[in-house]
Structure 1
Amino acid sequence: MTTVRVVVGAAVCARGRLLAARRSAPPALAGRWELPGGKVEDGESPEQALVRELREELGVETAAEERIPGEWVLRPGYVLQVWTARLVSGKPRPLEDHDELRWLLPGEEQQVDWLDQDRPAVAEAMRRLAARAATGIPGARL
């Protein structure tokens, strides 16, 4: 029986925008864009892993909110699950595995070359952001 490892991704949203992170490593992924995150370690929940990974990779404190439906195979034995996340403190900066960050408004997601596995979750996150913006509620979260 093979164990599937979960990799978590974060749809970090603030002021109606989604955070995109450009990979700097490994070489096969360098230059492509993703939702930041990483592997769930033994003894961690996916939400705990998300908060830890964003602290390590971006230097921010976050709160995991809700899971975006779906699960995407990254490679044999690894699947991606995505959660929405709220910034609690700090300003994201590329500390580990990334060399650039961008905040994208709904409709701007095609400006970057997303990793294929992130595309469905990005589309859903942007759909939710656009719906919130249409409500006209200031500060409406994803």
Structure 2
Amino acid sequence: MVDLDGRVLVQQRPAGKPMAGLWEFPGGKIDPGETPEAALIRELHEELGIEVAQACLAPAAFASEPLGDRHLLLLLYACRKWDGIPEARHATALRWVYPAQLHALDMPPADRPLIGLLEALL
């Protein structure tokens, strides 16, 4: 999510979850039978309480990272339009930051390669 000032939204993982305390981009796993876009729309509603139209999602980048015995493929979409005010429903906190400020945040290893891409895009 990108606001009018060019800041992106990150959320802090709650205690008791893997990688607790780290900052991440909102989103989540794709359920069986879901498209990546449908999953992101569902996750943004569940995690932030906002509504997003599929036409407002623009594929931006991806990252690939080993994760134990699995492999994580992280898809990054840019979204500049949504309905509602984001609230931390499943996170400890939300923060709007400029892409360059992401370098200073503790983020999961899979998210880190996306920082430079966001700086170049925004």
Q: Pick the TM interval, shorter chain.
A: 0.7 to 0.9
Unmatched tracts of structure 2, length 5 or more: none
Moved over 4 A (4+): none
Offset at residue 82 of structure 1 (A): 1.5
Q: Number of aligned residue pairs: give it.
A: 117
* Distance in 1, Cα, partners of 2:47 & 2:15: 12
- Which structure: larger Rg? 1
- Residue in 2 that maps onto 1:125: 118
TM-score by length of 1: 0.73
* Distance in 2, Cα, partners of 1:29 & 1:110: 17
- Residue in 2 that maps onto 1:83: 77
Provide, for residues 84-136 of structure 1, a one-character-per-residue CA deviation record: whole Å limited to 9, x for no partner.
1233211111101x11011002322223111110011232123211xxxxxxx
Offset at residue 74 of structure 1 (A): 5.2
Identity %: 35
The residue type paired with residue 92 of structure 2 is D
* Distance in 2, Cα, partners of 1:66 & 1:53: 16
Match of 1:72 among 51, 59, 64: 64
Indicate conservation of the 8 Å contact 1:70/1:81, yes or no. Answer: yes
- 2:28 paired with 1:34: no
- Residue in 1 that maps onto 2:52: 62
Provide, for residues 19-51 of structure 1, a one-character-per-residue CA deviation record: whole Å limited to 9, x for no partner.
111101544311101111111111211001001
